Chains A and B, each alone.
Chain A
Amino acid sequence: MMLPYVATALLVLATLYSAIVSFSNAEPGKRTWMFPAAPKRSARIVVGALTLVLVTAFALWLSVSARNSTRPASRFLIPEGYTGWVRIEFEVQGAPPLPMEGGQYILKIPPDGKLQTSSGQQYGWAKDHYYYYSAQGTRPLPDSGSAALIWGKINGEGSGAAGKKKYEELFVGTEDQFKNQVPMKP
């Protein structure tokens, strides 16, 4: 990636140029390439307007791309009392797609902690929700703070004999349990 090098080189040039102009005593009225006079009014208007358009377009592009980087939230339903790694495998042929409810994907984790789905993995920003479920209903699981029960959430792609696998993993348990656990085997 060339950007850091280009940015550094331009920064060196801008620093040197501005320092020379700031600390030198040029003769008033004498124009050189180093000490140019202010451009004509028409040129100022054109360049100023073009700059404004360019900066506005850039800001718009940034805001649009930030808005497009969201995804539907996921609701993880984990069996009551489950502790350990949860693994979700995506794009698995023959597996059911993830159902949607209220604009959220529902991921009902089986008792063994492994869920396979034919749905694709979603990327972007969203606030996911975690619940324990049982015959009596659901109760929310804290996923932040000192009492958090959700840890080490990762997603990735692995290649094996069965081809590529996209997956997501997270650990359900206390912080001490998370620190003392071993990674789940795929």
Chain B
Amino acid sequence: MIVDMLPFFLYFVASMTTGVHVCILLALAAHGAPSNPLELVSLLGSLCLLIAAYVSLFKPYAAARLALIACLAIWCFYGPAVAKSVRTKFGKQSSVLSGQLRITHPEVSWAQATMPFVCSEPK
């Protein structure tokens, strides 16, 4: 019975985790963080994956096709995000200012802070 439920659990857990993650990112956008329209596409994909999870209880093969489409929609956001994270981690960032930005005065390269920077969490 557990094996029969495998697609359901997989689609359900994947849809909930991706959905909650994107919801958190959208909530941060409401507080001023930069947002991405692809987040909404991803959220729609998570909803479709949730529907696919339910359909998998009746028609596993039809659910698989729906889940594949939903996953592709979610990848619209996760793909570029993962690629950017990997590029950043391995230090291959590109910059339009590369070779153009020069700090010529050493005194502007750093300055001692007069007070520590503190970010307060909303209650």
| A residues adjacent to B (C-beta < 8 A) | 3-4, 6-8, 10-11, 13-15, 17-19, 21-22, 33, 35-40, 43-44, 47-48, 51, 55, 58, 62, 69, 123-124, 155-160, 164, 166
Contacts and interface: CB of A to CB of B under 8 A. Distances in A.
B13 to A, nearest CB: 6
B1 A39 contact: yes
A155 B5 CA distance: 49
Interface of B is mostly: helix
A18 B64 contact: yes
Given A10-B18, A21-B60, 5 more contacts: A3-B21, A7-B78, A8-B82, A14-B11, A156-B120
Interface residues of B, number: 46
Contacts, number: 117
Interface of A is mostly: helix
B86 to A, nearest CB: 11
16 contacts: A6-B17, A7-B18, A10-B13, A11-B71, A14-B49, A14-B67, A17-B10, A18-B52, A18-B64, A22-B61, A33-B6, A38-B58, A44-B57, A47-B8, A123-B122, A156-B118
B23 to A, nearest CB: 8
Contacts of A58: 16
B82 to A, nearest CB: 6
B56 to A, nearest CB: 8
Nearest to B61: A21
Contacts of A158: 115-116, 118
A55 B16 CA distance: 9
Instruction: Name, among A22, A58, A160, the residue most crowded by chain B CB atoms within 10 Å (CB to CB).
Output: A22
Contact of A36 (B58, B60, B67, B119): B60
Contact of B78 (A8, A13, A35, A38): A8
Contacts of A155: 120
Contacts of B61: 21-22
